[in-house]
Amino acid sequence: MSAVSLEPGDPRELGGFRLIGRLGEGGQGVVYLGHGPGGERVAVKVLKADADPVVRGRLARELAACERVAPFCTARVIHFSGEDVRPYVVSEYVDGPSLQERVERDGPLRGGELDRLVVGTATALTAIHGAGVLHRDLKPANVLLGPDGPRVVDFGIARPIEAGTVTTHLMGTPAYLAPEQLNGEPPSPAADVFAWASTMVFAATGRPPFGDDTIAAVLNRIAHAVPDLTGVPPQLRELLAACLAKKPAERPRARALLVRLVDPSAPVDAEGRPDDLTMSVAANRALAGRHPVAWTTVLPFRDRVSEKVRGRPLAAVGVAALVLLAGVGLVNLGRGDRTVPAGGAPATPEVSGPPETQSPPGPPEGTIPEAFGGAWRGRATERDGEIETMDVPVMIMMRPGDRGAHLRLPEEPCEGELDLVDSAGDELTFRVAFRSGGCLDGTVTLARHGEHELGYRWREQDGPGTAEATLHRAG
């Protein structure tokens, strides 16, 4: 990527980084080529961001999350400053053209060059999502073709610099938006996968899968038309078609598509779908019968094993095996499937629920009551100072008798552990510690409003942030 001369109004130095030329300008800001204190070349993006300190705080937290992304297939974030009139981000300089420039100059990629791009960018997207970060604007201009392979850049920046009272407006380049974003839904990992597939179609054919003429025509095709995969190599066509599914739940996760790329015999949906509550209906039915083994088998496949489970005897290994089988679709729940032996009589299941005549004991005091058990979901309104963010999905999973629960904000994306600190009748209070994403720790209070409804309140630890929602039992 070549630089052009600085313009009269451009800064010459920012925070010890000397600027020597312009690399480009877009909707997010101007990108400069610069030198660091040690003489190393860097890319400095000066952002067109609101000066509101709350917006700057959100941007700082988002970029802090980006620092967790493995740097081998991205441009590493080196420094961020929100103290100037316009915030700026300093990142590793990648010496190479963007995918957009390369295709416009030399035509579509072919053979091994295309294969390396597909695998390299899928690896980058897997690393980005694994760190709890969304890209939000994946497109050919944000893929740089460095001498050591493709690098994905500008992840995690699009949302904070567009912060406002409502976050359901369109963000990103129209030709690479997912259908659900046209309906006002915020970006998600599934939307990133859709944008990745659209970018790969552009790399293979020189055009996006839904065209690049008028914005209205492109958006209409994204919402209703079948993608045009003419010219895509046959070995990639099935996978890209799956990633371009209209419904987010029908697209594979980034890790699943990467597995498919390196092992063509693997199914497209090898790791399941983006929604971790896919099996929550069965989970709630199991809880209604207080069947502990059935609950364990339908926990989300990618949940980490808790320290308590690691210390259990060998019988717990069998439960873990059931979780694995559920994750790859080998356990059929709620279908009434039974194994029939050679003699023709149905076999008795190895694990069965307690006899109907028994009354299982309730959970011990100081733990989650049975009335709160199950999978719950809703949409929250978050407030941080004067900024209000509406319609933020919230998912919680609780099991009676435990002191801990699982909280998920899939579109941040954040995952957190809830630790029960107080229970008073129909209200529970938890400490929440997030293990991924840029969300802030604090307290969560759940108030029972009925058999199938919970009030949800989150308050930031030592800060002004709050969130409220009404959660409903999932199924």
Residues 6+ apart with CB under 8 A from 344: none
Contact assessment for residue 225 and residue 209, using Cβ atoms and an 8 Å cutoff? no
DSSP code string of 353-371: PPPTT--PPPPPTTS--GG
Helix (H, G, I), strand (E, B) or coil at 130: helix
Sign of CA dihedral 304, 308, 311, 313: negative
Q: Would you tell me how many other CB atoms lie within 10 Å of the CB of residue 22?
A: 16
- 178-201 as b/e: b if 16+ CB within 10 A: bbbbeeebbbbbbbbbbbbbbbbb
Q: How far apart are CA 360 and CA 129, in angstroms?
A: 41
Q: Tokens 């990108």 correspond to what residue?
A: 31
Residue at 86: amino acid letter: R
Count of alpha carbons within 13 angstroms of residue 137, beta-carbon side: 19
Q: How far apart are CA 65 and CA 133, in angstroms?
A: 7
Output the six-digit token pair for 329. 């679709």
Q: Would you tell me how many other CB atoms lie within 10 Å of the CB of residue 289?
A: 12
- The angle at the Cα of 70, spanning 248 to 86, to the nearest 5 degrees, equals 85
DSSP 232: S
Residue at 74: amino acid letter: T
Count of alpha carbons within 13 angstroms of residue 194, beta-carbon side: 31
Residues marked active site are found at 137
